[in-house]
Amino acid sequence: MTPDLMAAGAQKLAEFQAKSSQDQGSGDREAAYGRLSHGEPDFAHGVALYLEDITVSFDGFRALNKLNLAINVGELRCIIGPNGAGKTTMMDVITGKTRPDAGTASFGSNIDLLRLRENDIAQIGIGRKFQKPTVYEQLSVFENLELALKNDRRARASLFSRLSGEQLDRIGETLQLIHLLPEAQRTAGLLSHGQKQWLEIGMLLMQDPKLLLLDEPVAGMTDEETERTAELFLSLEGKHSLVVVEHDMKFVGELTQGWKKVTVLHEGSVLAEGTLADVQANDKVVEVYLGR
């Protein structure tokens, strides 16, 4: 290796480690892997995620109140609802960031999410996109995807090894999917807000999650970027289950294509479920959300 490459490698490693330790929250990686002997999620029954009577209280205030939700394998589900309805808290529970006071949460038909730690949950196939894009600004688009691919228990040993042909293909396919192929060598910090959001989604996809949680993914995007994001999500449907929280009703309309189920959250529980047209015509929904 030339000194230049070594310096670049050292920088990558430092950033990689900083990101990994941020992601972890608590506990240590090795210990976390040891706990995965709970087994692989079982999706044979068609259920990707099942929440039952989940309650979360903050100082007596119920952010989630007996929330029930079932997401099928390959389903794209939009969740809407006023600010404070508990949408983000729901994602916090699914990803192990917040522990509920009561209720059950399973991934597939067999994995008890409430017994797993945040890092375990990411490793068994639940990817989460936060509102604000978090990419490595100094690295290129390609390098961001490369790191995401290697930030994985199966490939961890090969952080500095060369990419295999198969891995290169996967990065190429993902670049195409997220519309960033022409920007592959561009420094991520120079991308537009929308492009950074796509890159982060691409990074999640490198880990091949079964379930993707996307919290307000098109906030701050231009109309064109929003449309492309809808196309991207529709192309992921089927291969992954997607739970999309969004306020943009035009976007929700594009995703649900007139027939898919939308869930309306209010005061920590499900207020209504049905097609977008159904819930938009629901008096209770209009009163607490859409009509304001």
DSSP 151-187: SSTTTGGGTTSPPPHHHHHHHHHHHHHTT-GGGTTSB
220 binds ligand ADP (CB under 6 A): no
Task: Give dist(CA 136, CA 224) in Å, integer.
Answer: 24
Identified binder of ligand ADP from the candidate list 47, 49, 85, 116, rule CB under 6 A: 85
Instruction: Tell whether residue 106 is a contact of Mg ion (CB under 5 A).
Output: no
Contact 261, 275 (CB under 8 A): yes
User: Quick one: which segment of 42-50, 81-89, 226-234, 278-286 binds ligand ADP (CB under 6 A)?
Assistant: 81-89
Distance CA 35, CA 78 (A): 32
Span 51-80, contacts to ligand ADP by CB under 6 A: 58, 63
| Residue 79 partner contact from ligand ADP, Mg ion, none using kind-dependent CB cut-offs of 5 to 8 Å | none
Residues 71-90 that bind Mg ion (CB under 5 A): 87-88
288 binds, among Mg ion, ligand ADP, none (CB under 5 to 8 A by kind): none
Q: Whole-number minimum distance, CB 87 to Mg ion, in Å?
A: 5
Binding flag, residue 160, ligand ADP (CB under 6 A):
no
Helix axes 249-256, 223-236, angle to 10 degrees: 30
- Residues ≥6 apart with Cβ < 8 Å to 251: 218, 226, 229, 230
Q: Choosing among Mg ion, ligand ADP, none, which partner's interface includes residue 74 (Cβ < 5 to 8 Å by kind)?
A: none
Q: Residue 155 burial (CB < 10 Å; 0-12/13-18/19+)? A: middle
Ramachandran angles phi, psi of 191, nearest 5°: -75, 160
Q: Is residue 253 at the binding interface for ligand ADP, with CB under 6 A as the rule? A: no
- For ligand ADP, which is the closer residue by CB, 20 or 68? 68
CB of 164 to ligand ADP, least distance (A): 40
* Binding flag, residue 88, ligand ADP (CB under 6 A): yes
The vertex-58 CA angle with 71 and 114, nearest 5°, equals: 40
| Contact positions with ligand ADP (CB under 6 A) in 229-248 | none
- Asked whether 188 and 157 are in contact (CB, 8 A), the reply is no
Q: What DSSP state is assigned to residue 86?
A: S
Site membership for ligand ADP, residue 87 (CB under 6 A): yes
Pick from 47, 75, 89, 171 the residue near ligand ADP by CB under 6 A.
Answer: 89
Residues near Mg ion, by CB under 5 A: 87-88
Residues near ligand ADP, by CB under 6 A: 58, 63, 81, 83-89
